[in-house]
Amino acid sequence: MNVVSDQDIKREKILEASYQRFLHYGYSKTTMNEIAADLSLSKALLYYYFPDKSQLYIAVMRKLTCDYFKSLEEGASNFNTLRDAVIYQVNNQHEFMLKNYNFFDFFRLNEQNLPEPIWDIIAEVQQAEMLFLTRAIKSEIAKGEIKPIADPESVVDVLLDALHGIRVSAASQKKIRFPQKDQLDEIHNKRLLLADIFIAGLTR
Amino acid sequence: MNVVSDQDIKREKILEASYQRFLHYGYSKTTMNEIAADLSLSKALLYYYFPDKSQLYIAVMRKLTCDYFKSLEEGASNFNTLRDAVIYQVNNQHEFMLKNYNFFDFFRLNEQNLPEPIWDIIAEVQQAEMLFLTRAIKSEIAKGEIKPIADPESVVDVLLDALHGIRVSAASQKKIRFPQKDQLDEIHNKRLLLADIFIAGLTR
């Protein structure tokens, strides 16, 4: 039985309105006052749900992450080859970053000092991507499409590190951790090239 | 004609003695006094050559970098396959890091705020590695050992980013930029796995 309470509905509305604010104006330029006003809520009630802006932000990020997981789940049932699966993952992440780029200004502002719950979310995303690709590799091994691999997890781990390395390198040319928006296409193209070579290396 | 002056010889001796100090005690625990004493130099004379410890450190790092470039040069004439060349590079870097690990405590101490000349040296190292691998790939393409590639530089660029990503990912699990010494073997093994798959993906 799935009971959705009024509280849950209100909470969802707050998350949605906050997401729109964070997305269009960024974390630093959004105030709790504005979010309360968008929803015609009293400030007290907003603070009842979320004790401060950073906790609200983290809750929105959790919701976004769930959407991202859903998109991976949907993709998982829709590919025919390992290449399809990896390219889907690379494209999916690119589109997610492109769409939500402003939302992540929190990362740029706090890149030296991200709060612990954000690190937890990052770890969950990495686990979900790991799981998605490990399943894909195992199913392709079972089909005989790629070479047998003693330890598929370690291959996926290396692939994810490698894909991540391309983002890091683009950003660190500017001595930052988080890439600039105009670097996203370059990162995407380099990742597609990496994915192509890597998959060719696994294919019979 | 290669004139080596007394000044050059003294400078070399300072660099060598400083390297030993930085290597065994780390940057933070080494003092200009100790280096001067090791060489029976007056402090004034040491400061004449290097106005402060950080400039001395950077000069030692330049010298180390030159040794690293030489090892790449030596390797460049000694490989028969692209795999040899990439594995040589990965092993060479691993041994360099292992041998000089303590020397790099400067990086751990200043990871948020490296001085500009260090960034320049990092960029030079990346260029040298890029050149080494680009030559190797071009020569293997010419021999017909690997698939023709329209833009070998971009493939090497992606490979170097990918190799770098493995280091970054290992370090960021501990929320640091510079890996811990006990992570070096894991990084090395993952890079060898990546190199194997990547090269298989380029090979006919």
pLDDT band at A147 (very low <50, low <70, confident <90, very high): confident
* Cβ separation B190–A119 shorter than 8 A: no
> What ipTM goes with this model?
0.86
Across residues A141-155, what is the average pLDDT?
Answer: 90
Helices (H), A26-151: 32-38, 43-49, 53-76, 82-99, 105-109, 116-143
Q: Nearest-5° angle of CA B89, CA B123, CA B185?
A: 40
Tell me the CA end-to-end span of chain B in Å, nearest whole number: 48
B8 lies in a domain?
no
A101 lies in a domain?
yes
B114 lies in a domain?
yes
Residue of chain A whose alpha carbon sits nearest to that of B187: A158
Q: Is B109 helix (H, G, I), strand (E, B) or coil?
A: helix
CA atoms within 13 A on the CB side of A75: 26
B70 lies in a domain?
yes
Query: Which of A133, A157, A194, A204 is the mutation pick for testing B, counting most B CBs within 10 A?
Result: A194
The low-confidence residues of chain B, meaning pLDDT below 70, are 1-3, 173-174
Give me the pLDDT at residue B3, please.
Answer: 66
Residues 6+ apart with CB under 8 A from A113: none
Q: At what angle do helices A116-143 and A53-76 cross, to 10 degrees?
A: 0
Q: Is B203 helix (H, G, I), strand (E, B) or coil?
A: strand
B177 lies in a domain?
yes
Q: Total domain count for chain A? A: 1
Q: B123 to chain A, minimum CA–CA distance in Å?
A: 9
DSSP 8-state class, residue B98? H
Give me the pLDDT at residue A1, please.
Answer: 52
- Domain with residue B76: its CATH number is 1.10.357
Across residues A173-184, what is the average pLDDT?
Answer: 79
Residue of chain B whose alpha carbon sits nearest to that of A172: B119
- Give the closest residue to A76 by CA, choosing from A122, A135, A127: A135
B159 lies in a domain?
yes
Which of B169, B190, B198 lies at the smallest CB-CB distance from A197?
Answer: B198
Give me the pLDDT at residue A175, please.
Answer: 67
pTM, 2 dp:
0.89
Query: Which of A158, A169, A172, A178 is the mutation pick for testing B, counting most B CBs within 10 A?
Result: A158
Q: B64 to chain A, minimum CA–CA distance in Å?
A: 22
Give me the pLDDT at residue A107, please.
Answer: 85
| pLDDT tens digits for range A92-134 | 999 999 999 999 988 888 877 888 999 899 999 999 999 999 9
B18 lies in a domain?
no
pLDDT value at A193 more than 80: yes
Q: Which residue range is the domain that position A107 belongs to?
A: 61-202
B31 lies in a domain?
no
